[in-house]
Structure 1
């Protein structure tokens, strides 16, 4: 999609190509970015799509108040380790380039009392400080029952969870082996500056092989580290993270992450929902062509 910036102090986006007090969808501020969907027979109006506060809007605008974008003005929001978190002016989406370490949390076979899970038990914490396991009131980890997906294994947690399920139900958490998810820093400044919340959507592009994956923000990691994702995300990007049935192989570099704050509803989502929602956001943002221009 071709992208344009608003040149007037404000611009109404309408549900129909006509000026009427009842059809205004929203007011777009100056320099806001829109993507043109189509020209209309009426010379005045274009149909456009845009992202406003994380949500997709489609409607009609007077194109005389739009100028084509040739160069995006990029700013650095903050640094996480040596990774710059970047954002274009007048956009809520942010992006960064990093590698990817693998997070198995949420998978029912992630951790086992005898350390035979697909991830090493040390990555779940230790006695009295289990940060990746569901625990009872005495801080003892729950063990899956015969009716659970992996009897005898611990119940591994993610920060994003389905509140309809009880704490000791493995289905409460986002399964790393089935759902493509990203992990973002547990850093107050990061959350404040970016506005991102658990359940928001993201795109990850592997510049090594040009594979693209749609993901959800489902877990929280160390405050000074970024570049982490689920087993399913790693596989979607063309990397098998398992060596001898255990998580050992990440992606060292050359991944571009694009995150859309405000796009989710704070709940886990199915793979099809994640793909449908995020694909449209990514198209409006500019798609792979824009990533290649960064």
Structure 2
């Protein structure tokens, strides 16, 4: 039976006016350029209202610090035992003549090229001398491998793990600590192998609405190729001119590449992700939320991150922010 003229018209007008056919509301990023990272030239955007937040886009290389198998004194190249090569743990080095090794001029990438063997040779020489800082060759590891005195009056040497499955590995530390205890206790640091963590440049003063980001802050990440979302914390600091590093667990998750217990540096470095959105929440410190000094799990970070990200505007707003930059 044919529809009556009245009924047909009713359907016509309902169709035009129905929300089902309405265009979705435009979502705004509501963030503006606030800083330029001097090392990479990347723009850092900041929100002046709503939930305090910062946004930038960068690649993500792998940071192994905090993992119990990061560095081993008998595997400086990271070929047989360690996740990383020892060059990435050295902050300063001197050759056998006492001359400081500075061929890299502060450029970490140059250490992987012409300067690499200079640092390896210095390390092997220092190791042979028992890391005696009064002799050359000499190396320092800053806040990457802690040093300690075995007893009062003795000289400092790098902390070694003395028990457990990773006995013999150097202790690998992070700026953020998830527990209290001696600096040579590996378990107090952010474990790169199990916790999603982001490295942020040291001396960073990026702020949103007067709140400066620092260690422990929530970070939401997105792999721009796959759209995969991850939730993390600011777990460590890196060089001022560097930007874009994530823990083994984070890069493995975002890249979709698993990590095996027997993996070494050659595999770990390939977890890097080419293009990642970084969304930082300086007012949402994960460690304060769950109580500093209390164990924090990745499940807790995920649950907290999902709630904050949703309240902020979720994927739709992140999509809007991603149009602000075309950098990789």
What is the TM-score with the length of structure 1 in the denominator? 0.70
Q: CA deviation at 1:262?
A: 2.4
Which residue of the other structure, out of 114, 117, 132, is the alignment partner of 2:82? Answer: 117
Structure 2 matches for 1:1-294, cutoff 5 A? 70-80=27-37, 81-91=40-50, 92-115=52-75, 116-125=81-90, 127-131=138-142, 132-137=144-149, 138-146=155-163, 148-190=164-206, 195-240=212-257, 245-246=264-265, 247-264=268-285, 265=287, 267=292, 269-294=296-321
Q: CA deviation at 1:224?
A: 1.8
Give the SS at the match of 2:147: coil
Provide structure 1 residue ranges, at least 5 long, that are not aligned to the other structure: 1-67
What is the total number of aligned residue pairs between the two structures?
Answer: 226
Q: 1:166 to 1:101 in 2, by over 3 A?
A: same
Q: CA deviation at 1:154?
A: 0.5
Q: CA deviation at 1:101?
A: 0.8
Give the SS at the match of 1:140: strand
Q: 1:189 to 1:196 in 2, by over 3 A?
A: closer
Distance 2:36 2:316 in 1: 25
Higher relative contact order at CA 8 Å, sep ≥6: structure 1 or structure 2?
A: 2
Give the SS at the match of 2:192: coil
Query: What is the root-mean-square deviation in Å for CA atoms of aligned residues?
Result: 2.4
Give the SS at the match of 2:283: coil
Distance 1:78 1:86 in 2: 7
Distance 1:191 1:286 in 2: 19
Q: CA deviation at 1:216?
A: 0.8
Contact 2:28 2:320 (C-alpha < 8 Å) held by counterparts: no
Q: 1:188 to 1:287 in 2, by over 3 A?
A: closer
Distance 1:248 1:77 in 2: 31
Contact 2:254 2:273 (C-alpha < 8 Å) held by counterparts: no
Query: 1:6: which partner in 2?
Result: none
Distance 2:145 2:280 in 1: 27
Q: Which moved more, 1:269-278 or 1:176-185?
A: 269-278
Provide structure 2 residue ranges, at least 5 long, that are not aligned to the other structure: 1-24, 76-80, 94-137, 150-154, 322-328
Q: CA deviation at 1:166?
A: 1.7
Q: CA deviation at 1:194?
A: 5.9
Between Structure 1 and Structure 2, the one with more strand by share is 1
Between Structure 1 and Structure 2, the one with more helix by share is 2
What is the TM-score with the length of structure 2 in the denominator? 0.63
Q: 1:75 to 1:139 in 2, by over 3 A?
A: farther
Contact 1:242 1:248 (C-alpha < 8 Å) held by counterparts: no
Q: Which moved more, 1:75-84 or 1:174-183?
A: 75-84
